[in-house]
Amino acid sequence: MRRSLLLMLLWPALAAAWEEEPAIAFILAHNPVVIAQRQATEAYQPPSLTRRVMEHTSFYVRAASGTSTTVSEGGDTTTSDPMTVGIQVNIPLSSPKEQREYAQQALAEATRIDEVRGRALTDLSKLRELEAERAAAQERLDFHKSKADWMQERIKKGFEGDVEKLWEAAQKQNTEAAAAKRLDLLIAAQRRQVAHYAGEQWEPLLNYLSGKGKLPE
């Protein structure tokens, strides 16, 4: 009960270090799985009206009916067949198959985004929990250190004669120091695990989670 209360009291201070929303947005913008699916969706997207016009526009030259006669100033007569030059546009509507394939890819993209977001949020929650435990361990470590220093000072001055209590306090201090060190290693590993959701952009995210800078725009 006391441990849970301590974690709740420490939570606001820890939350100020990094926020979930910017981290998730950065992950979804750079995650290689999401990017690959997004590109696949774009490839299946039916072309826009402008693109269809460009893809299905052709120039033509065809002979027209009849002939034309031209008389020059010198009296020479030239007869030619008239030609018609124009632009032909044929814009097909997107087929139901195209629309269905695009819808399937869009659904797959939304599914991938949801999967990556869910896993990242789970790992971020774990990171937050570890950081809270680390802060609590530091509080206990500081308390035992202060108590040991206080007892040692009283023994020196002759107010306390029980060295066993001082030894017990020192043991508790060492235990909390070891727990803090272990949590430091777990936090570092968890930060790296979350950072690699961002693919090649893992380093800026790692620095952000470590409190060493802001995420790039």
Please give the average pLDDT of every successive group of 10 residues along the chain, which has 217 residues: 47 64 95 92 69 49 52 52 52 66 84 93 96 93 82 73 72 87 96 96 96 89
Torsion on CA atoms 123, 127, 129, 134, rounded to nearest 10: 160
Whether residue 216 lies inside any domain: the answer is: no
pLDDT given for residue 99 in this prediction: 78
Whether residue 217 lies inside any domain: the answer is: no
pLDDT given for residue 144 in this prediction: 81
Categorise residue 213: left if φ over 0, alpha if ψ from -120 to 50, beta otherwise.
Answer: left
Total domains in the fold of the chain: 2
Inter-CA distances, 34 with 25, 31, 37, 61, 146, Å:
12, 5, 5, 48, 51
Whether residue 142 lies inside any domain: the answer is: yes
pLDDT given for residue 74 in this prediction: 54
- Please tell me whether residues 6 and 109 are part of one structural domain: yes
- Please tell me whether residues 72 and 156 are part of one structural domain: no
- Please tell me whether residues 32 and 112 are part of one structural domain: yes
- Please tell me whether residues 12 and 109 are part of one structural domain: yes
pLDDT given for residue 86 in this prediction: 52
Q: Give 145's strand partners.
A: none
Whether residue 80 lies inside any domain: the answer is: yes
- Please tell me whether residues 42 and 22 are part of one structural domain: yes
- Please tell me whether residues 33 and 55 are part of one structural domain: no
- Please tell me whether residues 60 and 167 are part of one structural domain: no
Inter-CA distances, 71 with 22, 64, 66, 83, 111, Å:
79, 20, 17, 19, 74
- Please tell me whether residues 57 and 132 are part of one structural domain: no
- Please tell me whether residues 80 and 150 are part of one structural domain: no
Q: Which range of residues forms the domain containing residue 79?
A: 50-89
- Please tell me whether residues 74 and 111 are part of one structural domain: no
- Please tell me whether residues 75 and 174 are part of one structural domain: no
Whether residue 16 lies inside any domain: the answer is: yes
Whether residue 215 lies inside any domain: the answer is: no
Whether residue 79 lies inside any domain: the answer is: yes
pTM assigned to the model: 0.65
Q: Which residues contact 204 (CB under 8 A, 6 or more apart)?
A: 26, 198, 213, 215, 216
- Please tell me whether residues 176 and 113 are part of one structural domain: yes
pLDDT given for residue 49 in this prediction: 43
pLDDT given for residue 94 in this prediction: 55
